[in-house]
Structure 1
Amino acid sequence: MTCECIAKVDELLKPHNTRLQLLLILSGPNSELPYIGTEQIEKGRGKPKAKTMFPSFCPFCGTKYRADEVENSAAA
């Protein structure tokens, strides 16, 4: 990560027994990224599966994540 926002937010959420979820990405130097949870609307055979979304900027402070880090994670 290029900023410490995730750790700071986790510390604020700690009294509420809560923390942010991160996904481990196996390709790239910084292998943890926050993600935006999604869910599949229509379920069943032949329906497209829900996609996982990764922000390209920190959702808390606006710092840009490294471009190659986001590109690598989108392919995973």
Structure 2
Amino acid sequence: MKCECIKAVNEKLAARNTRLALTITLTQQLDDFPTIATEQIDKGRGKLKAVSMIPTFCPFCGVKCREEG
């Protein structure tokens, strides 16, 4: 991510023995993004599996996460 929000939030959460979970993407550039937790509603055979959500803008400051291309 282009901003320093993850670092700043993790520093504040450290006092509570907590940190943000990150998703790492292996593309042309190695990036990490805060994980947006999702869960599967209906479970069982033949049911669609839950998908992951990766933000394109920082959820804290609104800056675009990465340049296109």
TM-score by length of 2: 0.89
Report sequence identity in percent: 54
Q: CA deviation at 1:56?
A: 0.9
Residue equivalent to 2:36? 36
Pairs within 5 Å for 1:1-76: 1-66=1-66, 68=68
In structure 2, runs of 5+ residues without a counterpart are none
Runs of 5+ in structure 1 lacking a partner? 70-76
Q: TM-score, normalised by structure 1?
A: 0.82
SS of equivalent to 2:30:
coil
Runs of 4+ in structure 1 deviating by more than 4 angstroms, as ranges, are: none
Cα pair 1:25 1:32 within 8 Å, conserved: yes
Higher strand share: 2
